[in-house]
Amino acid sequence: MPIMRLVFSLLGRGVRRPERSARFRSQLMALENRWVPSTITEFALPPLSLGGSLGAAALTGGPDGTVWFSDAHASAVGRITPDGQVTEFATPGIAAAAITAGSDGNLWFLNDSLTESGSPAIGRITPAGLATTFTLPDDFTQPSQITAGPDGNVWFTENIYPTGEKVGRITPAGQITEFTVPVPPGVVGNIDSIAAGPDGNLWFLHDGILARITPTGALTDHVADNVAARTATCGRPALASTPRPARWSAISWIGLA
């Protein structure tokens, strides 16, 4: 019974009464000391030309000790220092969305939509703010997610109009290689999250299927079928890697991770 009161007290349920037994008191005090006041601080982004700001689309830790983010509606990529100083850099031709830090010390990002700001492309920006774009081979493609790979390259997923799917690889120099993903019959096609696993492979989700691809492009489909598309903030499944060997990857959900 004392352990149940401990759980209820941590969850804010019930009325806390003096505990006769000191059996769990040390553990309880240790847990109580971890509940400290927290403060959320917001930092405004530079206003758009039409006024206001629609907010950042994605963010990632940068190699320079700052946090980098994409501002799709401003066609910009920005960084924010630990003390809240915001700087944005224009990304002509790309409405930046998904962003990741590459092993080359730069930031890599994707188009936000099919044709919003020119040809579908991948962007690279240095910590100093110098942006370069690399056009994708297919005209009617929508890049989806991006991650740094275990091979020193950057990997990404893309939906090809009307029903195609691909996993792509881009080297630090900008050389792009794409691998076609089989789409189940009768499925419109939806490829999304991708993550590097500590086994040296890339893992990704498509059409409710968990799949694996090696750095050389060997694809193993249907590692797991019927991956639940639980609805959270925006209902998109996501992959996240963990350092534990026995559980090298986990499926999480945006808003719940």
Give the pLDDT of the chain (257 residues) as one tens digit per residue. Answer: 454 444 444 444 444 444 444 444 444 445 455 555 667 788 888 877 655 556 788 999 999 999 999 998 888 999 999 989 999 999 877 888 899 999 999 999 998 665 444 568 899 999 999 999 898 888 788 889 999 999 999 999 999 888 889 999 999 999 999 999 988 787 777 898 999 998 999 999 998 889 999 999 999 988 776 665 433 333 444 565 544 443 333 333 333 22
How far apart CA 249 and CA 183 sit, in angstroms, is 23
In terms of Cα–Cα distance, which of 178, 91, 170, 177 is closest to 126? 91
Q: Going by DSSP bridges, is the β-strand pair 141-148/131-135 parallel, antiparallel, or unpaired?
A: unpaired
Angle between helices 2-10 and 25-32 (to 10 degrees): 10
Whether the model clears a pTM of 0.75, i.e. scores above it, the answer is no
Q: What is the gyration radius of the CA atoms in the chain, in angstroms?
A: 22
Instruction: Report whether CATH 2.130.10.10 matches the domain 58-253.
Output: yes
Number of Cβ within 10 Å of residue 210's Cβ equals 20
Locate the domains of the chain by residue range.
2-32, 58-253
CB 208 within 8 A of CB 227: yes
